[in-house]
Structures are given as C-alpha cells and as structure tokens.
Amino acid sequence: MHHSKSPLYIIVLLAALLPSLTACHEQEEFSNDAMGNFDALWTAIDEHYTFFKYKNIDWDSVGNAYRARIAPGITSTELFDLCGDMLKELRDGHTNLISGSDVSRYWIWEQYPVNYDRRVIDENYLNFDYRNVSGIKYQILSNNFGYMYYGSFENGIGEGNLDNIFNYLASSDGLVIDVRSNGGGYLTNVETLVKRFITQKTKVGSLSHKTGPGHDDFSKPYDYYFTPDPKRIHYSKPVVVLCNRGSFSATNNFVSIMKHLPGVTIVGDTTGGGCGLPFTSELPNGWSVRFSAAVISDVDGQLTEFGVAPDVEVNITPDDKAHGRDTLLERAFQILASQRGGM
C-alpha cells in the first residue's frame, strides 16, 4: 500500500498551503451610520473620481471640511444634503448622490439661457408638420433646408430608420441638426449618427480610465475611430449643429466630434460639458453615487468637461423671443445659405 500514501500526502500538503496562497483580498467596510456612510462616499470618490487634477480640487481638504459638519444626531436628510453639497465641489453634472427621496446634482446649465423653445420650432418652422422616427423629428423646410431634432441619445437609432431619414433629406440644400436640451444617453448612438457624416475611417477622440485608486493613476489615452458603412446613406451637404447648455454628456461628445468634421458648423451656446464616463457605486445605507471614472478627450486631446464652444455663438434675442423666432435657427439658415453657392 506504499503507493497509496503518495497522493494523500500531496493533497494534505496542498491543503496546508492554500491559506497562504489565496487571492482573497480584504474589502474595506464602513459602518452604516452617518460617519460611516460619509466616509464610504468620500472614499468612493477619492479612489475613482477622474478630474481632481484637471479641476484643481484638494479632496482631502474638502472631506475634512464637510466631515467636521457632521454633528451627533444628524438626520438622514441633513446627511444627504451635506453629502450632496460636498459632491457639488466637484462641479460635475455626472456626479449625483441618489437616495430614495432625492438626487443631488450639479446642473449648472439650469442657470444659463435655455436658448430653445420647442413650441416655437413646432409652430413657426415646422407648422406642426414633421416626420418622426427613432426619436428624431425631421422635415425639409420651405427654404429647402433640412431640419432634424434629436432630443435624447437614449433613444436608439435604427440604421434603417436613418437610411429613410437621409434618403428623404437628400434633396435638401443643407441640414440643421438640433441637439439643444439633449441631456445625453448612449455613446453608441453618437457613433451611429456621426457615421452618416463621414466618408472614411475618422479619428474622433481618445479614451482614458483610472487604473488604480491614486489620483494620478490613468491609462495611456486610447485613440478611437469611427468607420462609416459604405452601404448606408450619407449626408454630404453643409451641416449646422445647434446646441445649448443643456447639450450634455453624450450630446457634448457628439458636438465635439461634429465640430471637427469638414462642412459642419456649430451654432448656439457652449454645450453643458460632461466628458466623463460615469460609474456607479453605493453606500452602506443603500444610497447610490454616480461619478466620472473615465474620460473622453476630443480629437485634439482636449477635455470638454466644461463644454464645447460653438463656432458661432448665438443666443435667442428678446426681440426674436417676443416674435416667435428662433435666433439660433435663423443664424443656421444664414450660414447654410451662404454655403449654398459653394455647393
């Protein structure tokens, strides 16, 4: 039976070695009380937030200042407000604290002119007569310029639908793409739409992400490209993109890409920014926290966290507003008209 002891010995030896060789890493835990939840929030941001250096934020000082305001007996609502105020120090529209009763936010665009009135467009330019598919409202106006309004990049765009849209718009002399007050959505929809305005593989930006909990732990930027599908219908005439401060996140990304394409003019106000890719974490009490964890730079390597400046800055004038005119759209028509001769 000597041969039978050998495998038994090996098994016992392996079992003895296991505890010292495991990849079991201790996860830091926080208590489910005011201080524990505060520290969990502060730590999640400290280890994952991506713009500390870009925004020159001393997160340790911020944490110390707000931690000192946690008084014994602080209520859940008070703690939420305090934590929400701390997150506003990040000046980031992608950063929210989410409880069962409220969402903290830094929506600075709410304080800027809206520069968009849907009713004015529908009534005075579209005459309530427009096509609508994949969340895109479109029509050829009486001046033979095409108009399409895309209100949310959360609305999936079907390639077949886009073929129908651009087939219809093919006879127009130019196109206005209106993404005002479009708060963003899926970047894959940005790609789907942008690819209709390029004719070859095009660099559209670069991506970088945190590689560890340190504030300087970033990956090397990765350039990424969009490649058009030659079998799909493309639009090659002059294009004006209308944007406002409510053009945020994926819409900000769309505008930053379109701005660098030939034949495209950006008109309106600076976009709302938001070039971070938000991740989500949570606190012991179940509150969620969303924050920017990765960044998208534009094709020039610039961050657009605070927005994309338009080529032509235009705000709706009080006079136009009083007379039901959209100053941005009128300016877009002028730009397209000036380019019509060059077609």
Partner 1 sequence: MLLCCAATAGLAVPASAQSDTAAQVLRPVLHMFTLDVGHASLLDSYLTPIAYHGQNFRLGYEHFQATGFNPERFTRQLEVDVDYDHTHNPAGNHTMHSLMAEARWSMMHRWRDVALSGTQLMVGPMTQFRGGVIYNSNNSNNVVSAKIHWAVGVNAMAVWNTTLWGRQLSLRYEGSLPVAGAFFSPDYDEAYYEIYVGNHHGLAHFGWWGNRFDLTSYLTADFRLGGTTLRLGYRGRIETSWINHINTHIFTHALVIGIGGEFLSLSHGKKLKPAHRIISPQY
Residues at the interface with partner 1 (CB under 8 A): 1, 3-4, 7-8, 10-11, 14, 18, 21-25, 27-28, 32, 40, 44, 48, 50, 100, 187-188, 207, 209-213, 217, 219, 222, 224-225, 277-282, 284-286, 288, 290, 293-294
Answer whether 250's CB lies under 8 Å from 189's CB: yes
Is the CB of 170 or the CB of 207 nearer to partner 1? 207
Is the CB of 63 or the CB of 146 nearer to partner 1? 63
Q: Is the dihedral of CA 316, 181, 252, 213 positive or negative?
A: positive
CA pair distance 289, 263, nearest whole angstrom:
40
Residue 54 tokens read as 């870009």
Q: How far is the CB of 171 from partner 1 (least distance, A)?
A: 34
Q: How far is the CB of 44 from partner 1 (least distance, A)?
A: 7
Q: How far is the CB of 19 from partner 1 (least distance, A)?
A: 10
Q: How far is the CB of 223 from partner 1 (least distance, A)?
A: 9
Answer whether 264's CB lies under 8 Å from 257's CB: no
Q: How far apart, in Å, do the first and last CA atoms of the chain sit?
A: 94
Answer whether 136's CB lies under 8 Å from 148's CB: yes
What own/partner pairs with CB < 8 Å and gap ≥ 24 does 306-309 have? 306/270, 306/273, 307/245, 307/252, 307/270, 307/271, 307/272, 307/273, 308/243, 308/252, 308/255, 308/256, 308/259, 308/266, 308/270, 308/271, 308/273, 309/270
How many CB atoms are closer than 10 A to CB 320?
Answer: 16
Is the CB of 228 or the CB of 284 nearer to partner 1? 284
Is the CB of 221 or the CB of 263 nearer to partner 1? 221
Q: How far is the CB of 123 from partner 1 (least distance, A)?
A: 36
Q: Are strands 239-243 and 264-268 parallel, antiparallel or unpaired?
A: parallel
Q: How far is the CB of 24 from partner 1 (least distance, A)?
A: 4
Q: How far is the CB of 284 from partner 1 (least distance, A)?
A: 7
Instruction: Please report how the helices 187-194 and 250-258 are oriented relative to each other, as an axis angle in degrees rounded to 10.
Output: 30
Is the CB of 148 or the CB of 277 nearer to partner 1? 277
Is the CB of 27 or the CB of 75 nearer to partner 1? 27
Is the CB of 28 or the CB of 319 nearer to partner 1? 28
